[in-house]
Amino acid sequence: MDFPGGRIIEDKSIKDSALAILGRELGVSAERIEDMQVMDSQGWPINSSFSNQKLFGVIAYMSSGLDDSSADTGGCFSINPEGISDLLARIDCAQCRLVLFHYLFLKYSYGL
């Protein structure tokens, strides 16, 4: 399992690109998003032998009511040690794990 992801759309902001990705990959409409927060506006460098890119983490705060049948969130996990452990056991992608750890750091260090 991975988090939704994609490339920044040319001439679009990070948040607008994230909205498009949420719609494409999860079927979540922009109306369901109450707020968005970019974790690091500079992006984290992802350097490989094939390309140099930047990874941006975005937190999307959705309106309640996950009963929307058009949204395929892939699962809900509690933000407690058991839920986090369960989520980590399912995430295969190292970049997704980095975003999750950064989110947890922000949440527990700064209350975000």
In a domain? residue 2? no
Residue spans of beta strands (DSSP E) within the chain: 33-38, 44-47, 52-55, 58-62
Provide the residue range defining the domain that includes 34. Answer: 14-110
Position 64 in a domain: yes
In a domain, 80, yes or no: yes
Using N-to-C axis directions, what is the helix angle for 94-110 and 81-90, rounded to 10°? 160
Q: With 0.85 as the threshold, say if the pTM is over it.
A: no
For residue 97, being part of any structural domain is answered with yes
The answer to the question of residue 4 being in a domain is: no
How many other C-beta atoms lie within 10 A of the C-beta of residue 16?
A: 14
Over residues 2-44, the pLDDT tens digits come to: 899 988 988 999 999 999 999 999 888 899 999 999 999 999 9
pLDDT-derived band of residue 90, with 50, 70 and 90 as boundaries? very high
In a domain, 1, yes or no: no
Under DSSP, is residue 51 helix (H, G, I), strand (E, B) or coil? coil
In a domain, 18, yes or no: yes
Q: How many domains does the chain fold into?
A: 1
Split at pLDDT 50, 70, 90, the class of 97 is very high
